[in-house]
Amino acid sequence: MSAEPTVKRLMAPNITALKTVRPIVSLTSYHAHTAAIADRHCDFLLVGDSLGMVMHGFETTVPVPLDLMIMHGRAVVRGAKRALVVVDMPFGTYEESPSAAFRNAARVMKETDCGAVKLEGGRRMAETIHYLVERGIPVMAHIGLTPQSINVIGGFKTQGRTKAEWAAIEEDARQVAEAGAFAVVLEAVAAPLAKRITAAIPIPTIGIGASANCDGQILVMEDMLGLSPRVPRFVKLFGKVGAVIEEAIGAYAADVRSGVFPGPEHAYEMKPESASAGAGTAGATPPKGRGTAPRPRGARAAKGRPRR
């Protein structure tokens, strides 16, 4: 047995225990470097299947394959040291039967080393949630607007804005909690309904477009950073990263075109002794690579990157 890890990673029960203690903070994350930053501020990171739309240009989350979730899940687990990492089960990998859900969720857990999975659906998924939790897989549920059902719902529509809709959504929340989910995402749910559900169930509600009445909040990281071209009304822009990237890339392009970049400070000169020894040597072995100048020793550091 190896020594105790120096940083203890949060687990699903730690998230459940935060209900009524303090607001739970979370973001989606799809890569190692943003995970490392978000890890310092968030209780859990969700490798959401929204990555299909945000990173890969799909129009909905429906086409996202399991292998893609696993690949991004691995990256986020490598980047985050403390936050619980939750990986979304994509459409078609868990709805058919509890045993199919277990097979795919177990693969996600084993291949990414994440601490929990998330799946969409209320009452209809209660049996599956129970089956997974009984077999060692922590499950975060997701009710209200469930984007994987977009083709049935007919659009990204807010849920529970008429009282007639409330009973079904409240029943979804009650049943996923009873089935053993450790938390439940409420997506695009009317504020008064989110308040009722949060008060009624023993597990934390994590709101996205569901008001401050929830136990915690989640946003798609690219949305709140100002990187997404269009965002829903419930997103607050906490940054203008898209504009910063645009400006930096524009400046780079201008510098390359005008010859300002790269300057001498970004180039490698010959070592003094090899410059004098090699100068004018007939029959020297030609250097490999695109240019004719020999690559100076030490110009490449580990992993093939030039030393800084």
Going 151 to 153 to 159 to 165, the CA torsion angle's sign is negative
Cα–Cα distance measured from residue 97 to residue 99, given in angstroms and rounded to the nearest whole number: 5
Burial class, 241, CB count within 10 angstroms (exposed 0-12 / middle 13-18 / buried 19+): middle
If the CB atoms of residues 44 and 131 are measured against ligand KIV, the closer one turns out to be: 44
Does 88 sit near ligand KIV (CB under 6 A)? yes
In whole angstroms, give the CA distance from residue 120 to residue 63.
Answer: 15
Whole-angstrom distance, CA of residue 18 vs CA of residue 32: 26
Query: Does 121 interact with ligand KIV (rule: CB under 6 A)?
Result: no
Instruction: CB nearer to ligand KIV: give 46 or 176.
Output: 46
Binding of residue 220 to ligand KIV (CB under 6 A) = yes
Q: Which residues contact 105 (CB under 8 A, 6 or more apart)?
A: 89, 94, 117, 132, 137, 139
Site for ligand KIV in 8-37 (CB under 6 A): 28
Is 215 a binding residue for ligand KIV by CB under 6 A? The answer is: no
Query: Of 187, 246, 265, 273, which one is the catalytic site residue?
Result: 187
Exactly one of 18, 39, 45, 50 binds ligand KIV (CB under 6 A); that residue is 50
The correct pick among 48, 73, 138, 160 for binding ligand KIV (CB under 6 A) is: 48
CB of 227 to ligand KIV, least distance (A): 14
Q: Which residue carries 């029943």 as its tokens?
A: 171
Q: What is the Cα–Cα distance from 265 to 75, expressed in whole angstroms? A: 33
Q: Which residue is nearest to ligand KIV (CB)?
A: 48
Selected binder of ligand KIV within 18, 109, 208, 221 (CB under 6 A): 208
CB of 208 to ligand KIV, least distance (A): 5
Residue 171 falls in the annotated catalytic set: no
Closer residue to ligand KIV (CB): 64 or 306: 64
Where do runs of H (alpha helix) occur along 159-228?
166-179, 191-200, 221-225
CB 159, CB 197: distance < 8 Å: no
Residue 116 sits in the site that holds ligand KIV (CB under 6 A): no
* Three-state secondary-structure class, residue 227: coil
Per CB under 6 A, the segment of 32-40, 47-55, 165-173, 275-283 that binds ligand KIV is 47-55
Binding residues for ligand KIV, rule: CB under 6 A, are 28, 46, 48-50, 88, 142, 185, 187, 208, 218, 220
Active site members: 187
